[in-house]
Amino acid sequence: MKNKSVLLLGGGGFLGSALAGHLCKQDYTVHILTRRAMDSDAPNITVHQGSLDDNAILEKILPTCSTVIHLASTTTPGSSANHPLIEAEQNIAPTLRFLQILQQYDGLQLIFVSSGGTLYGNPKTIPVSEDHGLYPRSYHGAGKAAIEAFLMAYSIRPAKHVTILRPSNLYGPGQTMRQGFGVIRTMLENLRNDTMTEIWGDGENIRDFLYISDMLAVFDIVLDHKDHTGIYNVGAGKGHSINQIRQVIEQVCGKAFKFRYLPVRDVDVRQVVLDCSRLKEQLGWQPQVSLEQGIRQTWEWVKSL
């Protein structure tokens, strides 16, 4: 019988919370290791408060698990700008200490959620594939690239199964308001409250936006293909500027909102659209929810709060 026990590292964020609930519905036993205190009423979710290198906790959980999903990150491109040590101390070093512990557990599947929006810099080709070079413009992106490099070195050892996912900009119901996270969520909240939306630069930066349920479907596939390892972009494969997102939101919601442009930031990439053909060809995944559908469903959720 398949072992359906999963450890989520950093499961308290938007993706982690959505994934934990999603896995519970499929009868997984879910352990969440998080630095922040959090509660869960689900009978098959256990929350452990601690750090990634808390061996006392890990030695109890890891022998029972089939998969570890690494979601933990404390920074954004903006929050670690001009502070490379924050990236090293809070994200890279804890992951390496966790990897040191993980080496004694053969056969575990490790899924690392990296970043499709910060690794490639300003891509030479659009859409950008996984084979494109990594040219991060932010310390946050550099941190993701560093962790990926260590995980690839780890993966060549016997009985080590590593899959790296590079998602685009995720959005959808359940996304809480956090500074520096979620442009669609932020715009919808500001629209509801009739408050100002601040846009870095001229609003023509282009991003790839993916609805949360499409991302969860990727985990379903990867969890069922433990031996099918590698690096995968995960996105809609379509680009929209921030100005276009604003216009779609106004059309879907039937109202205009206040906004203003701020000076451009050096850490921001001008254009990223992900080529997800590898994921489609090798594992049969493709997104199902259009931008308009996703924004409409998210808006209905925001209004209900």
Model confidence at 267, pLDDT cuts 50, 70, 90, reads: confident
Average pLDDT of the residues in 15-23: 95
The pLDDT of residue 41 is: 75
The pLDDT of residue 178 is: 74
What confidence tens digit (pLDDT) does each residue in 202-238 have?
999 999 999 999 999 999 999 999 888 999 999 999 9
What is the dotted CATH code of the domain comprising 73-304?
3.40.50.720
The pLDDT of residue 180 is: 64
Question: How far is the CA of 32 from the CAs of 35, 39, 184, 214, in angstroms?
Answer: 10, 10, 27, 22
- Is a pLDDT exceeding 90 seen at residue 191? yes
Task: Using the Cα atoms of residue 117, residue 119, residue 121 and residue 126 in order, give the sign of their dihedral.
Answer: negative
What confidence tens digit (pLDDT) does each residue in 53-96 have?
899 999 999 999 999 999 999 888 878 888 999 999 999 999 99
Instruction: Write down the domain spans for the chain.
Output: 73-304
Residue whose token pair is 């408050």:
195
Collapsing DSSP states into helix, strand and coil, what is residue 204? coil
This prediction has a pTM of 0.95
Q: Pairing between strand 197-200 and 259-262?
A: parallel
